[in-house]
Chain A
Amino acid sequence: MEDREIVDLYWARNEQAIEETDHKYGRQCHSIARNILGNDHDAEECVSDTWLSAWNAMPDQRPNRLFAFLAKIVRNLALDRWDYLHAQKRNTDVTTLLSELEDCVSNRESTEQHAEDHAVAAMINSFLLTLDPDSRNIFLRRYWYADSISEIAARFSTNESRVKSCLFRTRKKLRAALEKEGIAL
């Protein structure tokens, strides 16, 4: 089924939309979540949450690129879950009291940070477009899809050392580009 037809199902509030989405993009979304979380169980929960988020996001939104839309959702959900799981490992009590104190913090800072994040994201986007396609694809497979080095090497029919050196060079370029723009993360 075409992406446009699936989006139409979401807009029609037809539950078949989730089934079709899972059929078409479930494996890829699961792979992204699993790469970040490291286990299938959490990844599966992430994917289920992604379908729910997509169901809630549409009909307000009508994504032109359904896979990118879903992949961003599952990636953010996986990162949130990763943070949650690692915070639990550190100290459950501290995590609880920090979350309690978040109520006392003004939203102004987060709003500023949100705007800054948009600027940084635009800058990163521009930087990626300056890269040659091979370097860009390898960089994004590593830092967007969280693929392992060996997976990237197999995907692009090369060896791991070449992937590592390519990533190293791209990271150095990104650092230089960020410093040039005066962006400090």
Chain B
Amino acid sequence: MNGKKKGNLDADSNKSASYAAKRLFRLLGDVDDSLIEQVASAHSNRHPLPLGRIWIPAAACVMLAVAAGGVSLFSGNLSVSSDSPAAGEGGISSAAIAEAEAGAQAEATADGGSATTTDQSDSNTVTDRAATYETNENETGKTGTQSPKIAAQAAENLETDDSAKRNEEEQNVQPSANSAVVSYSPITGQETILPADSLPTQDDAAEGSSSSQPPLLGTASISPSSAYSLSFTVPDGSVFVPAAEDANGTLEDSALGDPLEELLTQILELSPEFPAAEIREVSGRDPSFFLAVRLEEEETFRLYVNSSATASVPPAE
């Protein structure tokens, strides 16, 4: 026993450790001058921007943008290629939906009987198949690489299963001249308003002319003409875009209604960049959804449709 209590020993030990640490701290002061100066400028050798916080996220963003651009370009190529499976699928889809629409109208106007029942069941079948196709696509995640394959396969299935019925029905039931349908493009994931009278008929398909080609769906189907591809906004906030099926054609004089000069003024105020020269109603169609527009330096009118009313486009008056 040295006469010291345990607490005193601990205190002495702590004091000794503190003294030793202080002495070591002082001795560290005698390190080589070159090391001191090297440490003083050490930070300048490092990159001022943290790698993990700045550059990695930035690189990820760039890669994502490039990938998105690639997917967009890929799907765009598929849409405009007339011999690709996707284009074929688009045409079938439009025809099938138009058929469904026509069937529904036939049901509304028919006196009854077996023909109405057949039309209704066919339209339901086509609609269900389209819905099934959409579901399948959603399940696969709509990836850029899978979508064209799925679209082609779905198009083949639809074509195989319904070709016989469609051939028969299209000869008997033509789309109403004043109805409109909303078609969905599984490739672009967008909906397009298509007046039913512009959808291809069997005769058109047989002719194979450019004007009778099925409309290309989605944004890629809009004419690349810079003026024509412009959209405009009307005072109620609705946005009118060029009708997809009218990409190569123009409205005949008989389809033109009254001029809408006041609306033209308002549109030019809202969309001054839009080169509209004249706006008219489309005969027999609701001007809330369809407008005939003549652009500057053009002599004919083109059909524009209300893109914000895709879910509830009423039939023609």
Contacts and interface: CB of A to CB of B under 8 A. Distances in A.
Interface residues of A, number: 33
B32 interface: yes
Interface string A135-148: 01100110111000
Nearest to B51: A157
A76 B31 CA distance: 13
B62 to A, nearest CB: 22
Interface in A91-146: 117-118, 120-121, 124-125, 128-129, 133, 136-137, 140-141, 143-145
Nearest to A145: B39
B27 A124 contact: yes
Given A76-B29, A124-B27, A68 B51 contact: no
Given A72-B29, A156-B46, A157-B46, A185 B20 contact: yes
A28 B35 contact: no
Contacts of A136: 35, 39
Contact of B42 (A65, A117, A120, A155): A155
A93 to B, nearest CB: 19
A67 B39 contact: no
Nearest to A65: B33
Nearest to B38: A137
B196 to A, nearest CB: 64
Nearest to B46: A157
B27 A140 contact: no
B23 interface: yes
A157 B28 contact: no
A39 interface: no
Interface string A39-74: 000000000000000000000000111011101100
B36 A144 contact: yes
Contacts of B43: 155-156
A141 B35 CA distance: 11
A144 B26 contact: no
Contacts of B30: 72, 117-118, 121, 124-125
A75 interface: yes
B36 A124 contact: no
B150 to A, nearest CB: 45
A185 B33 contact: no
Contact of B39 (A120, A121, A124, A137): A137
Given A67-B37, A124-B31, A79 B26 contact: yes
A128 B35 contact: yes
B27 A144 contact: no
Interface in B129-163: none
What are the nearest 6 A-B pairs in CB distance? A68-B33, A121-B30, A185-B20, A65-B33, A137-B42, A68-B36
23 contacts: A28-B40, A63-B33, A65-B34, A67-B37, A71-B40, A83-B22, A117-B26, A117-B27, A120-B27, A121-B31, A124-B28, A125-B30, A125-B35, A128-B32, A136-B39, A140-B35, A143-B25, A144-B29, A144-B31, A144-B36, A155-B43, A156-B42, A185-B20
Interface of A: 28, 63-65, 67-69, 71-72, 75-76, 79, 83, 117-118, 120-121, 124-125, 128-129, 133, 136-137, 140-141, 143-145, 155-157, 185
